Structures are given as C-alpha cells and as structure tokens.
Amino acid sequence: MSVINNSKTLLTRKLFSHARPLSKDSFVRIVEVGPRDGLQNEPKTVPSDVKISLIDRLSDTGLKTIEVTSFVSPKWVPQMGDNAAVFSGIKRKAGISYPVLIPNVKGLEAALKVEGIEEIAVFASASDGFSKKNVNCTAEEGVQRIKGVIDAAKNHNLRIRGYVSCVVGCPYDGPVHPSSVTKVSEALLEMGCYEISLGDTIGVGTKQTVHAMIKDLLSITTPDKLAIHCHDTYGQALVNICTALELGIRVVDSSVSGLGGCPYAKGATGNASTEDVVYMLNGMGMNNGIDLKKLVEAGNYISEALGKPTASRVNKALYQKYNL
Ligand SMILES: CC(C)(COP(=O)([O-])OP(=O)([O-])OC[C@H]1O[C@@H](n2cnc3c(N)ncnc32)[C@H](O)[C@@H]1OP(=O)([O-])[O-])[C@@H](O)C(=O)NCCC(=O)NCCSC(=O)C[C@@](C)(O)CC(=O)[O-]
C-alpha cells in the first residue's frame, strides 16, 4: 500500500509539522529497542529477513541508536537465536549505534565473532525474584556476572550500556525500593557503563514512584548518565517518561509500534511506542531528529509482518485514520 500520495501532501505536512525550533539543551535521544525488546517476546518465529528489513527501515528514520538483537541463550529466548545473521544482514549507517544485549561472557564471545559490533548492553535487576527467573541467579550474582562481561568487553574497546530492570516493581517480589535501584546502578556505573537505562519492566510505575526512584539515583549520579525505559502495561509510560524528562533525563528507550515485553516478566506488555514518544516530544518542542512519517511506516511494516494491530496510538491515528 502506498503510504503517501500527492493529494495528501498538504494534510501530511500539517500533521507532521509540530516540531518547533529548539535549543540544543532540549534534544532527546531515543534508543529504539523494538528489534530486541520488541521481538523477543513474539511467540512465533519472526523470519530473520523481516527483522533485518525492520532495522534497515528504522535506520532511515533519524534514530541514532537501534538495539539490534541479543546474544542470550537460545534455550531461554529462541526468538533471538538468529542474532549473528540479523546483525550481519543489516545495512549499518554511519552515525548510528547498533548495540546488542549480552547476558554473560559466552554471549560476549559469540558477539565478538560478528563483524561490526561496537556497543553492547548488559542487564541486571533491582530485585532477586526477576533476576532468578530471567538470568537464573540472584541480583547480586547477576552484577558479578556482568563484571566479568564488562572486564572482557573493555579489552575490545566496546561501549557498554547498562540496564537495571524492575526499577519500581517486580512481578515476583512486589514493590522495589529506590535504594535497591541506586545500589545496582552505582555498581554498573563504577564498572564502566556509560549510561544506565532504568527499566520499568512490568509497567507498574506511576509519576510518584518513578519520581522517587530517579530522585534517589540523582544523589549518586547526574541525569546525563541515565535513560528511562518504560513498558506501558498500565498506560503510564508517557507520564513516566515526562517525569524523567522533568528531572533532566534526555535519553528515552522505546519500541516501534509499541512491540515488546519480557518472556520472564509475566503479563508485561510492550514498551512505550516510539511513534507516541516522538509525537509527544514534538508537541513539547523537544527535538529528537526523527522523521515521524518514516517511523509510522516502519511501525506499520512490522505490524503487518506480525499480523497484528499496532499498539501505538499515534501510529493508529496517523496511518489508519489518514491512510498515510
Ligand atoms: C543468562 C542465561 C544464559 C543463564 O542460563 P543458565 O541456564 O543458568 O546458563 P548455563 O550457563 O547453564 O547455560 C545453559 C545453556 O545455554 C547455553 N548458553 C548459555 N549462555 C549462552 C549464550 N549467551 N549464548 C548461547 N548459548 C548460551 C549454554 O551453553 C548451555 O547450553 P547446553 O550446555 O545446555 O547445550 C539465561 O538465563 C539467559 O540467556 N537469559 C536471558 C533471558 C532474556 O533474554 N531475557 C530478556 C532480556 S532482559 C529484558 O528484556 C529486560 C530489559 C533489558 O529489556 C529491561 C527492562 O525492560 O527492564
């Protein structure tokens, strides 16, 4: 289906024109996690060429960071079993970082065999319950395992991003105290992560709990070392992202078409959709460098490939209503 035709150009310009001239300070970097966080939870195998085509489309939208895949055990997450083929198949563009998620040294070794991997992401949990289900060890053991990965990665000059999951609530342990998040984040920063992405894995956070969690972190670090990663299970993702922006965070993780969820976090839905985040940022006058129309097209591509409706409200409104 043609996404745009000439007769609709005027309408399109109107719809996509709300970005205002912005100060440098207001730039927000979006980390697109759809190809990894988004697809890892899909029950049916997504063909590698579909994943590659999605990433190539995303590379044309203006995104500066696209998480491509994970090198986790295929026994645990079969959907990511084609990691090397997917990474090798994409057309990498200059100026875009393509991190991959790494759980252990074995995963790092596998990633190092693939040409072109320059950035990795490691992941820990602020709660024991989720850590045990997700990586088969306690949160503390998980941090020690990550240390091994980071020490080895440093020998290869890789950039290392850190995730902390369950930053406000755990599906197994319940509410998570901010101090647990601060403790794990501090350890990862000290080990050499350039940034910590704060994952509300099951989307239970509210303005108040997310605010308290970030405030606690700001006693040991600065907002430029933090990113926010919200799942939208309870419809709070955009509010929680705004809360992070108000506290000075300028990196937002999101997932095209609102794909996603973690196979080991029961009931968790997808991330905040990248289309919704970009629309919101544009409306707030916060520059992000992303072409919303191309993003909507990428979102529509993957929704059609998966045979399910988009979870993005903005995608629905712009694509389906106006047939762009
Ligand atoms: C960490 C382990 C491996 C421990 O799993 P384990 O079973 O304790 O590990 P193991 O060392 O006993 O290995 C089991 C088997 O897996 C193999 N194996 C072991 N490691 C690898 C590897 N890297 N690549 C390929 N194969 C591997 C290993 O060789 C062995 O194979 P076997 O001998 O039975 O044939 C496992 O628990 C795992 O892979 N977990 C990952 C789960 C996952 O991917 N979860 C989703 C990502 S996290 C997330 O989504 C949250 C986030 C980041 O988005 C932020 C947020 O939203 O909060």
Ligand 1, residues at Cβ distance < 6 Å: 37, 40, 70-77, 103-104, 106-107, 110, 123, 134-136, 163, 165, 199, 201, 229, 262, 264
Q: What sign results for the dihedral spanned by CA atoms 95, 101, 106, 110?
A: negative
The predicted pLDDT at position 324 comes to: 60
Give the active site residues.
262
pLDDT, one tens digit per residue, over 132-185 is 999 999 999 999 999 999 999 999 999 999 999 999 999 999 999 999 999 999
Exposed/middle/buried for 167, CB within 10 Å: 0-12, 13-18, 19+?
buried
Distant-in-sequence, close-in-space partners of 72: CB < 8 Å, separation ≥ 6: 80, 101, 103, 107
What residues pair up with 195 in beta bridges, in sequence order? 161
Whose structure tokens read 């697109």?
Answer: 32
DSSP state of 221: S
DSSP state of 265: S
Name residues of the chain where pLDDT drops below 70: 1-25, 320-324
Going by DSSP bridges, is the β-strand pair 159-165/195-200 parallel, antiparallel, or unpaired?
parallel
Q: Which domains are delineated in the chain?
A: 6-321 (3.20.20.70)
Ligand 1 centroid – CA 151 distance (Å): 19
pLDDT, one tens digit per residue, over 38-77 is 999 999 999 999 999 999 999 999 999 999 999 999 999 9
Q: Which mutation among 33, 37, 76 tests ligand 1's pocket best, with the greatest number of atoms within 8 A of CB?
A: 76
- CB neighbourhood size of 20 (10 A): 12
Atom 30 of ligand 1: nearest residue by CA position: 73
Q: Quick check: helix, strand or coil at residue 121? A: strand
Atom 49 of ligand 1: nearest residue by CA position: 262
The predicted pLDDT at position 127 comes to: 98
Does the reported pTM lie above 0.80? yes
